[in-house]
Structure 1
Amino acid sequence: MSAEFRTFLCRSDNVGVLLRDSRTGACAAIDVPEAGAVLRALDETGWRLTDILVTHRHIDHIEGIPEVRRATGARLTAPVKAREDVPDADVYVSEGDRVRVGDLEGEVWETPGHCLDHVTYHFAAAGLAFAGDTLFTLGCGRVMESPPETLWRSLRRFEGLPGATQIFSGHDYVLSNARFALAAEPGNAALRARAAEADRAQAEGRFLVPSTLEQERATNPFLRSAEPSLAESVDLPPGTEPEAVFVALRAWKNRF
């Protein structure tokens, strides 16, 4: 496939993403946390923005949209459940809808849990998933508008994807997520190596977004809730349902 991308920091810890179809030149911003950062990335790449794909309605993901649309004329796609907060979208999408960025085609997944309107854009042929605040490198989103089981069900949708799928999250929380993951699963050698990589990346001015699903399966405690060691970490007996382990892990992370 002809997919290119550029990631960059916005605000303090938001991750901005540009997705481009190199064949047609079409280019999408995944959310616009900060107009200036997105416009600078466009200037640096020379890419022309044609689309904005909104994952959810929170202000730190949509605040820069008006300025970027005025500057670029980009078409705005947003979750239909976010219509009240994003009232001027050109297209509203829900579960199973398709989006296009040039020749790149993505499917809309409704992935509530962090908030009720959250969606993920999965570009299967390109091996890319834009997960917003649902799935993070080494972590997952905070539950704000649903029972934690709702977020668990959303996370399980990622389990069936190929391991090479690149996961783009909406924030760079990698170091804090690594500290929690190590507390929850200190015996995980792959996790220790990933945490060390995160430290090196920060020292070099990088961050570990995107990650791959294979890496997350090996190191992300919220995707590893079936592991007996994680049940033990939250004082649950062996054989406890992974959903219950996830709920306990998420509650622990809230206090961590």
Structure 2
Amino acid sequence: MTMPLEIITLPCLSDNYAFLIHNPASGETALVDAPEAGAVRAALSERGWGLDWILLTHHHWDHVDGVAELREAYGAKVIGAEADAHRLPRLDKAVKDGGTFSLMGEEVQVMDVSGHTVGHIAFYIPAAEAVFTADSLMALGCGRLFEGTAQQMWASLSRLAALPPHTVVYSGHEYTQANAGFAVTVDPGNPALQDRVRDIARAREKGTPTVPSSLQLELDTNPFLRAADSAIRAHLGMEDAEDAEVFAEIRKRKDNF
């Protein structure tokens, strides 16, 4: 029987997350995003692991700043989007939307999830039932539209929403409690959201990460995935609008929240 991949949620900087993916059978380890080197090196040292691969979702400094030091220290190879290669650290493997590659014996599917940035990608590992979304789909939120359009982000979120609902969503920041404060303003009658708000408060009181989350939980509570929901549409006075228009209004409200 194949041993499952081990995935470690690793707090970095003030509110970022990176993720270590370890194959116990082969002893290989990959990292998704590298906000800083120190926290990653400490986690690897504590477990006695090396670092073989670094997977990058997008070019923002708080996702790539640790790459140079980690590559130097461990000889890790870097994987990122071909479309973003001009502003990422040097890539050893450039990947495209719709492509796949093998990582530690498992298939990884590459998804373009542009919106927060253009060229942002997510990594979906079906065998691990895991998707690494960074600043596209986030816990109870989505990334601010720094480069892409609302239409692009809605298309990206719709692709992610179509993954199996039991998929675990590994996103890039501990923004969940702030996102919850906004979510209840556009979806006030959602009992699942109210339950989640309470769960988030308890977790943060204990210093427990709220990332990862399940896709099903996001589908039930994340307003950025729920533009088709009749209650949200009624609350916004947008019953007849296109889904992407409703999403754009929700995103605009969050920007001004």
Write out aligned runs for 1:79-158 (5 A): 79-158=81-160
| Structure 1, 169-178 or 75-84: larger mean CA deviation | 75-84
Provide the residue aligned with 2:254 in structure 1. 253
Give CA-to-partner distance per residue, 1:29-61, whole Å, 9 cap, x none: 101001101111112222221100000011110
Contact 1:184/1:221 (8 A) holds in 2: yes
Identity %: 38
SS in structure 1 of the partner of residue 108 of structure 2: strand
Write out aligned runs for 1:1-256 (5 A): 2-236=4-238, 238-256=239-257
Give the C-alpha shift of residue 182 in structure 1.
1.0
Give CA-to-partner distance per residue, 1:58-96, whole Å, 9 cap, x none: 111001100111111111111112212225211111112
Aligned-partner residue type, residue 70 of structure 2: V
CA distance in 2, matches of 1:46, 1:5: 15
Give CA-to-partner distance per residue, 1:96-132, whole Å, 9 cap, x none: 2223321122111111111111000000121100001
| Structure 1, 130-139 or 23-32: larger mean CA deviation | 23-32
Give the C-alpha shift of residue 228 in structure 1.
1.5
Aligned length: 255
Aligned-partner residue type, residue 127 of structure 1: E
CA distance in 2, matches of 1:87, 1:49: 17
CA distance in 1, matches of 2:161, 2:126: 14
| Structure 1, 167-176 or 226-235: larger mean CA deviation | 226-235
CA distance in 1, matches of 2:185, 2:21: 35
* TM-score normalised over the length of structure 2: 0.96
What stretches of structure 2 of length at least 5 have no aligned partner? none
CA distance in 2, matches of 1:12, 1:87: 22
Aligned-partner residue type, residue 241 of structure 2: T
SS in structure 2 of the partner of residue 125 of structure 1: helix
What stretches of structure 1 of length at least 5 have no aligned partner? none
What is the aligned-residue RMSD (CA, Å)? 1.2
